[in-house]
A = this chain, B = another copy of it.
Amino acid sequence: MVTAQKDIPLYRQIADKLEELITSGTFSSGEKIPSVRQMSRDHRVSISTVMGAYALLEDRGRIEGRSRSGYFVKARLMSRNKVPKAALHRNKPVEVSRASIVEAVLAAIQQPEVVPFGAATPGDELCPHTRLNTLSNVAVRQLGPAAYRYTVVPGREDLRTQIAKRSLRCGEDLSPSDIITTMGATEALLLALKATTKPGDVVAVENPTYYGILDLISALGLQAIEIPQSPEKGMDLDALCESIRSHSIKACVVQPNFQNPMGSTMPDENKRLLVKICADAGIALIEDALYSDLYFGESHPFSLKTFDETGIVLQCSGFSKSLSPGLRVGWIVPGKFYDQVKQLRTSLGLATCTISEVVVSEFLKNGGFDRHLRRVRSVYFRQLQQVRQGIIDAFPKGVCMTEPKGGFILWVQLPEPIDAEKLVIDALLEKISLVPGTLCSASCQFRNTIRINCGHSWTPRLERALGVLGHLAKLQCR
């Protein structure tokens, strides 16, 4: 296929040829291309030549390498390098008041007839339910009546041991006694906020952020100060410092990896710096690590906790995105706030669900959680590419979107005239659920942006739904 041509280095010729195949659709979005070894063998070129070609294609944004999985075709973007806009930095605390649109988004979860682009739910097909059932049956039978007893704070030791073991992967070094289990990551965030603030206090949040964090802040009578973030670098640390100088900030909530909704990942240097800024300013740093197991890269990204030397980080996480949302198993590593969190856990919820903790613990121990994670990572990567491609094909010109390095959420910026909230309401009438960007911002920025869940497998139904969304968006452009 590839023959040496004068003046054009071999690796570039290979890259050009492959790009053609991608453009023509021979290799489609999310599809794996031949491995370096196979390419080298098939085309009688050296390994390093193929690696040069693939590096060039990565530079051009056409393929993406993933640890131990090979190279995959990325979605073709209308305008390369264009990413959704960051937020404005208003540097003014706002009282968070939320609309009933959260209710509609959540209600859609229970309605199978609605296309699930709204709430960040993982697809059924990825749930290892038969394995979970089997492990659960065996473990619960062995426990006898103990399976139905109270599990009080800090939670089952077997589960905490498994979580501590896994923490090594993200550069941490936890012991089971550092961990308190919770009923889902939302409860972990509730405990973290309550342990570090009083009503009326100011909390720094990313803008945009997960709308659930804004709801918690509102429910606890706190005020949010929004710090802009960008898809490339996460929270803007200069803006954070500016806000720290002008306001008394008690806590800061950050999702450093595969942020919901922007998919951003903070560079490690920024993570280290953020921890230092908060430590110096005496601000509790609440880390939401819910998506961090779902990386597409070589290895588990570092957490903020990794850089925490003084215990100011309260790490919150759970298994809702990586295993099962219905089990309600989460945890918190409260650092120096351990005692406060422990007492609040008892006061606010008394106990955790014994069977859920047993099931997760057994799956972590014997169920092949690593194998499961490898599978879901590769599926989510592919699904993100498929949805990205579907959007490019169906949406009006000028659309741009994020390229998350993990997770399964896409942040899609529509051309200026489009009102995302109107689009969300129109879509709901067509039985398609979506999250408007305004929901992810206390000051209701991102009026022309939507968040799309890519947790479900790509089917003609989803493709058609993207077509409908594109049509609805185009109607608004007229």
Contact = CB atoms under 8 A, between A and B. Distances in A.
A325 to B, nearest CB: 4
Contacts of A68: none
Given A353-B183, A355-B356, A129 B152 contact: no
A21 interface: no
A184 B350 contact: yes
A145 B119 contact: no
B353 A152 contact: no
Contacts of A348: 186-187, 190, 216, 219
Contact of A327 (B110, B148, B221, B326): B148
A147 interface: yes
A124 B106 contact: no
Contacts of A194: 219
A226 to B, nearest CB: 18
Nearest to A105: B152
Contact of A324 (B148, B187, B190, B219): B148
Interface string A184-197: 10110010001000
Contacts of A328: 183, 351-353
Contacts of A125: 145
Given A137-B133, A353-B183, A353-B326, A212 B148 contact: no
A153 B106 contact: yes
A151 interface: yes
A347 B141 contact: no
A398 interface: no
A378 interface: no
Interface in A418-437: none
Contacts of A145: 124-125, 127, 129
Given A109-B150, A121-B150, A137-B133, A184 B349 contact: yes
Interface string A238-252: 000000000000000
B148 A127 contact: yes
A460 interface: no
Contact of A354 (B152, B219, B326): B326
A394 interface: no
Contact of A152 (B109, B215, B323, B346): B109
A199 interface: yes
A362 B187 CA distance: 27
Interface string A128-151: 010011001100110011111111
A140 B149 contact: no
Contact of A150 (B147, B221, B326): B326
Nearest to A146: B124
A218 interface: yes
Q: How many copies of this chain sit in the oligomeric assembly? A: 2
A218 B145 CA distance: 33
A149 B121 contact: yes
Interface string A327-349: 11000000000000011101111
Nearest to A157: B110
A215 to B, nearest CB: 4
Interface in A355-400: 355-356, 359
A110 B152 contact: yes
Contacts of A346: 102-103, 106, 215
A107 interface: yes
A92 interface: no
Identify which of A107, A119, A136, A145 gathers the most chain B CB atoms within 10 Å of its CB.
A145
19 contacts: A106-B153, A109-B149, A109-B152, A124-B144, A127-B149, A129-B144, A129-B147, A133-B147, A148-B323, A150-B326, A183-B328, A184-B349, A186-B349, A190-B348, A190-B349, A216-B347, A353-B356, A355-B359, A356-B356
Interface of A: 102-103, 106-107, 109-110, 119, 121, 124-125, 127, 129, 132-133, 136-137, 140-141, 144-153, 183-184, 186-187, 190, 194, 198-199, 212, 215-216, 218-219, 221, 320, 323-328, 342-344, 346-356, 359
Given A102-B346, A147-B326, A150-B326, 15 more contacts: A103-B346, A119-B150, A124-B146, A127-B148, A129-B145, A133-B137, A133-B141, A151-B326, A187-B348, A190-B349, A199-B199, A216-B347, A328-B352, A328-B353, A353-B353
